[in-house]
């Protein structure tokens, strides 16, 4: 994680209005998922439910629209941040494992968040006269949003699926990720799925509400920010451990050097002493002779 990324991550975390992480911090070890009985920590990433110890304490967020997340089968469940959305907003978020995709109701207005060639900015979509919003009745250009949860290459495979082809695409305003698992060769603006969902909702709020954004969706990043802190702490500890090891090695090197020098100096001293004795003796001899 480079310094810029860390700085933007810290800035994001500092400004979030989050529920306390103390319940997560106090959890010891792992427990069984109440549904599939697999050993898990905090939540089950295959059943998308929190463990019993925390189920009543995980913050819940009501969303202004329905969200479907299509997860690529090769996306590793335990590493996916999409599940965080399912845990925090279970009534509004559904996760599908590709090739399963949702059956879209023809009467529903659905958009896909994907930066295709035809994708439009969220702001532009709202400005489109076709979708022009009447603030009084809160008419909006869409009521359901689809996100793809996968690596960049895999997302193309999902995007090309026949069942998603007719969906209009929107793209997010550029933001920097603070994800600790960065994808090789991908820019800092390539967001983790939960970041993309969060920023989408913040932008959506700013386009649909008169009042400025008040942090109401911040808890979507509840698990994400907690894990960010855990990773940062562990990195810091590793760094400190590394620095301590370097210090130890340097101290050892110095002690070895001193020992060697002493040994060398000690030999020289002995020689000098004998030289000195000889010299004294010779002096004496010379003196006495």
Could you say whether residue 52 binds Zn ion (CB under 5 A)?
no
Query: What's the Cα-to-Cα distance from 121 to each of 114, 125, 176, 191, 244, rounded to whole Å?
Result: 10, 6, 17, 16, 49
Could you say whether residue 36 binds Zn ion (CB under 5 A)?
yes
| β-strand pairing of 43-44 with 93-97 | unpaired
Q: Which stretch binds Zn ion (CB under 5 A): 39-47, 78-86, 182-190, 273-281?
A: 39-47
Could you say whether residue 41 binds Zn ion (CB under 5 A)?
no
Could you say whether residue 35 binds Zn ion (CB under 5 A)?
yes
Comparing CB distances to Zn ion, the nearer of 204 and 223 is 223
Q: Which residues pair with 27 in a beta bridge?
A: none
Could you say whether residue 30 binds Zn ion (CB under 5 A)?
no
Could you say whether residue 171 binds Zn ion (CB under 5 A)?
no
**Residue in 13, 19, 23, 47 binding Zn ion, rule: CB under 5 A:** 47
Please, what is the minimum distance in Å from the beta carbon of residue 7 to Zn ion?
A: 36
Q: Which stretch binds Zn ion (CB under 5 A): 47-55, 56-64, 235-243, 245-253?
A: 47-55
Please, what is the minimum distance in Å from the beta carbon of residue 40 to Zn ion?
A: 7
- Cis peptide upstream of residue 99 (ω within 30 degrees of 0): yes
CB 35 within 8 A of CB 44: yes
Could you say whether residue 55 binds Zn ion (CB under 5 A)?
no
Please, what is the minimum distance in Å from the beta carbon of residue 22 to Zn ion?
A: 24
Could you say whether residue 258 binds Zn ion (CB under 5 A)?
no
Tell me the site size for Zn ion, rule CB under 5 A.
5
Cα–Cα distance for residue pair 169/160, rounded to 1 Å: 12
Could you say whether residue 44 binds Zn ion (CB under 5 A)?
yes
CB 21 within 8 A of CB 226: yes
Cα–Cα distance for residue pair 278/283, rounded to 1 Å: 8
CB 164 within 8 A of CB 158: yes
Strands annotated E in 63-178: 66-71, 93-97, 110-113, 120-121, 144-149, 169-171
Comparing CB distances to Zn ion, the nearer of 33 and 88 is 33
Residue written as token pair 């000889």? 278
Interacting residue ranges for Zn ion, rule: CB under 5 A: 33, 35-36, 44, 47
């Amino acid at each position: 994680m480079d310094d810029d990324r860390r700085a933007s991550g810290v800035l994001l975390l500092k400004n979030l209005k989050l529920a306390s992480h103390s319940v997560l911090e106090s959890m010891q070890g792992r427990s069984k998922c109440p549904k599939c009985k697999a050993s898990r920590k905090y939540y089950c990433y295959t059943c998308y439910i929190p463990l019993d110890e925390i189920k009543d304490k995980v913050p819940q967020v009501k969303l202004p629209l329905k969200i479907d997340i299509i997860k690529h089968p090769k996306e590793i469940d335990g590493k996916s941040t999409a599940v965080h959305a399912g845990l925090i907003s279970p009534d509004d978020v559904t996760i599908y494992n590709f090739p399963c995709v949702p059956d879209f109701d023809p009467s529903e207005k659905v958009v896909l968040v994907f930066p295709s060639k035809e994708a439009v900015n969220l702001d532009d979509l709202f400005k489109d006269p076709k979708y022009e919003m009447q603030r009084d009745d809160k008419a909006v250009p869409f009521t359901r949003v689809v996100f793809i949860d996968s690596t960049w290459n895999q997302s193309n495979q999902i995007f090309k699926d026949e069942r998603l082809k007719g969906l209009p695409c929107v793209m997010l305003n550029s933001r920097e990720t603070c994800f600790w698992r960065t994808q090789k060769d991908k820019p800092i603006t390539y967001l983790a799925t939960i970041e993309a969902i969060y920023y989408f909702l913040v932008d959506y709020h700013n386009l649909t509400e008169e009042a400025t954004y008040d942090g109401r969706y911040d808890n979507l990043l509840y698990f994400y920010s907690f894990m960010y802190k855990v990773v940062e702490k562990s990195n810091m500890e590793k760094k400190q451990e590394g620095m301590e090891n370097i210090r130890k090695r340097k101290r050892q090197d110095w002690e070895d050097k001193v020992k060697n020098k002493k040994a060398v100096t000690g030999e020289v001293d002995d020689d000098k002493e004998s030289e000195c004795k000889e010299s004294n003796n010779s002096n004496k001899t010379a003196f006495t002779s």
